[in-house]
Structure 1
Amino acid sequence: MENILDFTRDDLAAWLESKGIRSFRAGQIFKWIYIRQVDTFEQMTDLSKELRRTLAGYFNIRRLFLDDKQISVDGTEKFLHRLEDGQHIESVLIPEKDHFTLCVSSQVGCVQNCQFCLTAKGGFIRNLNVSEMIAQVRDARYYLMQKELNPLKLSNIVFMGMGEPLANYKNLVKSLKIITDSDYGLKFAHRRVTVSTCGLVPKITQLGLDISVNLAVSLNATTDAARSRLMPINKKYSLTQLLEACRTFTMKPRNKITFEYILMKGVNDTKADALRLVNLLAPIKAKVNLIPFNEYDKSKFKRPSKKQISDFLQILLDRNLTAITRKSKGNDILAACGQLKAKLY
């Protein structure tokens, strides 16, 4: 039996037509699943009983199993979800001034082996299917409903959790179509959905052609030698190739690509690094998120001093590069990617 969350609205419409059922019913079904948050077809009272029985014979509507949840003093909430096969993934609900952002995982583990990332320590197990990505978002909105909060306050989605989203490309794009379905799906605005990548160059180009979302690139170094040590993907796609793909990325005229730069003490935090970063990003419509390293047990990397972080940021700002230092949230609840899952083992 298939999980109906694996189907886009077009997929479901095609399936219905194959069964001799009018395709507009797909919109009604989506409204029940994503807006009214029902968990059975029997609850879909504007469908005929016969159609409800048919749907129940082919599909189910599953939520993720919640194995652990931690709440930070700053309000950040981290969820450890157990999947049908017993594997675990994480998502993080981040409170902002007037809305929530959800950080979503795309894989169980990760094959990219970025040296600073705890997710990589567990190796790669498998891609998430569409329903497992969508359920993270759907369940988070349901969770807000249970807390008697407006579920639409969850308005921003970032694919920055466990895994490399562009390595699970087909399922990612289908998930994005459901997330941004403005009529019957989860109704997120395209401009409020961000996909982060370590630098899978061909897929960056393809993403811009296939769907309109924000792009974030995990950069973290300003020379090929340094980046290859931190991020093995750089040995396949160099900085030159990556930045050219970013320069030509298809996006709306006013949009900018976010470059994430994790500041690590003595690794990439010097004045020379900052100046090179300015020069590298000069041809690109770019903004920079400086992220002081979120230390975890036995990590070989350390967080720079506050002065080092401030000085690095000031160099960027003085040269008219849009940049901020991203405030870390959830440090007290292991909210960095992979940390809560790692606690299991």
Structure 2
Amino acid sequence: MESIELRGCSLDELIEICQEMGLKRFRAIQLFQWVQQKAVRSWDEMRNIGEVDRQTLSSHLHFHPLERVREQRSKDGTRKYLFRLHDGETIECVLMDYARTMTRDRHTICLSTQVGCAVGCAFCATGLEGFRRNLSTGEIVGQVLDITHYVRQEDPDFQVTNIVFMGMGEPLLNYEQVLKAIQLLNHEQGQTIGMRRMTISTCGVVPKIIQLAKDNPQVGLAISLHAAQDNARNQLVPMNRRYPLASLMEACEEYTQITHRRVTFEVALTSENARQEEAEALVRLLKGQLGHVNLIPVNPVVGTGMERPTSEQIKRFAQVLEDAGMAVSSREERGTDIDAACGQLRRQWEGE
């Protein structure tokens, strides 16, 4: 039997593997709970699995927790992690804590899905380093498990409540691994994170948007829009040359027809594009869409040459959208004092 990645295995897969090894079904359930629910980082922590069975399992299942290279903490509570993978590559992810809701605190993790990114959006630090490879399901899930492990050392009751696939990489270009990771994170014997509390952010991979609506209509969709006209978006989001705005808007309409869920349209605002005419073009583009606009002041990133808009520019831009009857919000700034933009910490560390 070839060596299989433990953190990327579903419960059904573990049951089958255990049966092939001559182990009982309950061993697979115990194993799954230790890994996916309790977020252990070693075989020795699995205390109700005997040493002989652990040796048998470890001979066929490889278990590579992510190595924490660096952790930065913001004054607002945001934590940014740089993790090293088993092959030496590095990825980033971010934990954002929000004030208590009616029932509990909200702990959101922003996950990476690739090492680097091939899309090359103009304002993104990740794209400056190019694309290395896709993450495996275990490496995607591992970000949640390892952050959970570390935070529980300080807060034993810590539980991730929300997931956003908005870190390094384009999630829909690693589609199968991302969807399997979602299933694992949702599992009732794992982290039990609700499907509707997970969101995939994409630059606009049109065929996969439609496929996502059919494969998992519970998961939220966010579109990294950033411009309302093709000539401008071609410069900001190179994927637009392959899937221009007309086809992207059609895909979003089909998504809402299938899922009955609204789409979040993300617009990165700079000192250059936060203008009234840009806002008016956005109103025209999104007319008739079931959606919500999220305005994101760009993080300052060395190498992009882009500057943040002023608070007044953001307010004026939002007002144009609100006057047109659109739902709009401005993303709360978090982690700017620790370089929370995707790819910044990795670039900084690799440059040392």
Cα offset for 1:48?
A: 5.8
Which residue number in structure 2 is paired with residue 218 of structure 1? 224
TM-score normalised by structure 1 residue count: 0.93
What displacement does 1:12 show?
Answer: 2.0
Gaps of 5+ in 1: none
1:150 shift after superposition: 2.0
> After superposition, where does 1:74-93 map in structure 2 within 5 Å?
74-93=76-95
In structure 2, the residue matched to 1:188 is 193
User: Does structure 1 retain, via aligned residues, the 8 Å contact 2:122–2:304?
Assistant: no
Aligned match of 2:166 in 160, 185, 193? Answer: 160
In the TM superposition, what is the alpha-carbon distance from 1:45 to its structure 2 partner?
4.6
In 1, the alpha carbon distance for the partners of 2:141 and 2:269 equals: 31
Letter in 1 for 2:147: A
Q: For residues 214 and 186 of structure 2, what CA distance do their matches in structure 1 show?
A: 16
Q: Provide closer, same or farther for how the CA distance between residues 148 and 318 of structure 1 changes in structure 2, counting only shifts above 3 A.
A: same
- Report if the CA contact (8 A) 2:148-2:158 is conserved: yes
Return the alpha-carbon distance in structure 1 between the equivalents of residues 70 and 53 of structure 2: 37
Do 1:294 and 1:328's aligned partners in 2 also have CA atoms closer than 8 Å?
A: no
**Which residue of structure 1 aligns with residue 244 of structure 2?**
238
Structure 2 residue 101 is the aligned partner of structure 1 residue 99: no
- 2:253 aligns with one of 222, 244, 247: 247
* Unmatched runs of 5 consecutive residues or more in structure 2: 100-104
| 1:123 Cα deviation after fit | 0.7
1:178, 1:120 → 2: CA distance?
Answer: 28
Distance 1:328 1:17, change over 3 A: same
Instruction: Answer with 1-10 or 110-119: which moved more.
Output: 1-10
Q: Secondary structure at the match of 2:341?
A: coil
1:283-321 Cα offsets, whole Å, 9 max, x none, are: 221011100111122431111121111011111112221
* Of 314, 317, 324, the match for 1:312: 317
In structure 2, distance between residues paired with 1:220 and 1:37: 37
- Residues 1:114 and 1:57: Cα distance change in structure 2 (over 3 Å): same
Q: Do 2:64 and 2:86's aligned partners in 1 also have CA atoms closer than 8 Å?
A: no
Q: CA 1:17–1:283 in structure 2 vs 1: closer, same or farther (change >3 Å)?
A: farther
Note the alpha carbon deviations across 1:233-267, whole angstroms, 9 max, x for none.
Answer: 000001011111111116643x321111001122x
Shift of 1:206: 1.0
Identity, % of aligned positions: 40
Match of residue 179 from structure 1:
185
Residues 117-158 of structure 1 show CA distances to partners (whole Å, capped at 9, x for unaligned) of 111110111111111111100011112211125221x21111
Matched, 1:325 2:327: no
Alignment root-mean-square deviation, CA: 1.8
1:122 equivalent in alignment to 2:124: no
Query: 8 Å contact 1:144–1:150 — kept in the other structure?
Result: no
**Does the 8 Å CA contact 2:206/2:248 hold for their aligned counterparts?**
yes
Does 1:35 pair with 2:60? no
Conserved in 2, the CA contact under 8 Å of 1:40 and 1:60? Answer: no
2:34–2:40 Cα contact (<8 Å) kept? yes
Counterpart Cα distance in 2 of 1:89 and 1:207: 25
Deviates more, 1:328-337 or 1:28-37: 28-37
Q: Deviations over 1:96-116 (max 9, x none)?
A: 112211111011100001111
In structure 2, distance between residues paired with 1:304 and 1:192? 30
CA distance in 2 between partners of 1:279 and 1:16 (Å): 57
Question: How far is 1:49 from its partner?
Answer: 5.6
Q: Structure 1 residues 64 and 257, CA, compared in 2 at 3 Å: closer, same or farther?
A: same
Cα distance in structure 1, aligned partners of 2:143 and 2:23: 30
Q: Which amino acid aligns with 1:83?
A: L
In 1: Cα distance, 2:298 partner to 2:46 partner: 47
Alignment match of 2:142 (pick from 135, 145, 153)? 135
